[in-house]
Amino acid sequence: MRRPLIGITTYHRDGDDRPRYAVPASYVDAVRACGGRPVLLPPGDADPSDALDGLDGVVLCGGGDVDPALFGGASGHDALYSTCAERDAFELAVVRQCLARAAPTLAICRGLQVLNVARGGDLHVHLPDVVGEAVPHRVSRELHTRHPVRIAPDSRLAALLGAEEVSVASWHHQAIDRLGDGLRAVAWASDGTVEAVEIEAWPELLAVQWHPELQVDEPDGRQRRLFEALVERARAR
């Protein structure tokens, strides 16, 4: 059986002497483990149509911050890091193309935030300024943390995971503030932070604020189902 091709967005261009694009291997490993064939999608193309034409599905991965200038947020916050106009422009174009094509898509952490901005929503520039630190959404740039998430019982996400509460790997300091057009919040942290969204007209979309690629091998298998569902939907196209 042919393995569906799954595009994975990469981090921004980095390095001075020999600039490079990179992405954590956990995204690649998760796609492979669930039957997909990963293809890296570095930013830079003004129009990603040609790249997406050859793919069956897309993972929008995490990484640096979305530039607040794109959603009217305050620039210059001390907590902002790794903003990149090239990456922002590319991923916004990818999201819009995926929606137009109804492409199977898994948006993770930054990917969910890019989706929200692409749909006209905005973000909290630094989440602790808004909700405090009772919920450990991020403890450092080097280490992820964990916290529980409540899922709407009537959501596609709850049906897929087979649960209305899950423990998730968390690693972010930006998050959705005002929802974009057509987005419905379907999961929340205990401090009210939006942790997942759905779009009724785009059932092929899975979009979560946490990092399921870090939980693929957990015994309950719940986070693995996000990647399995992506690959299954890609294979069915």
Q: What is the pLDDT of residues 202-222, one digit of tens each?
A: 999 999 999 999 999 999 999
User: What mean pLDDT comes out for the span 31-59?
Assistant: 96
Going by their DSSP bridges, the two strands 183-188 and 145-151 should be labelled as: antiparallel
Catalytic residue among 91, 195, 198, 213: 213
Amino acid of residue 30? A
- Residue 139: the pLDDT is 86
Give the domains, in start order, of the chain with CATH numbers: 5-236 (3.40.50.880)
> Taking the complete model, does pTM exceed 0.95, yes or no?
yes
- Residue 104: the pLDDT is 98
Two tokens, residue 54: 């050859």
**Known catalytic residue: 213?**
yes
Catalytic residue among 91, 109, 144, 228: 109
Per-residue pLDDT band at 15 (split at 50, 70, 90):
confident
CA atoms within 13 A on the CB side of 183: 28
Two tokens, residue 26: 């956990």
Q: 76: part of which helix (H) or strand (E)?
A: none
**Known catalytic residue: 164?**
no
- Residue 169: the pLDDT is 97
Catalytic residue among 124, 144, 147, 211: 211
**Known catalytic residue: 98?**
no
* Residues of the chain above pLDDT 70, percent: 100
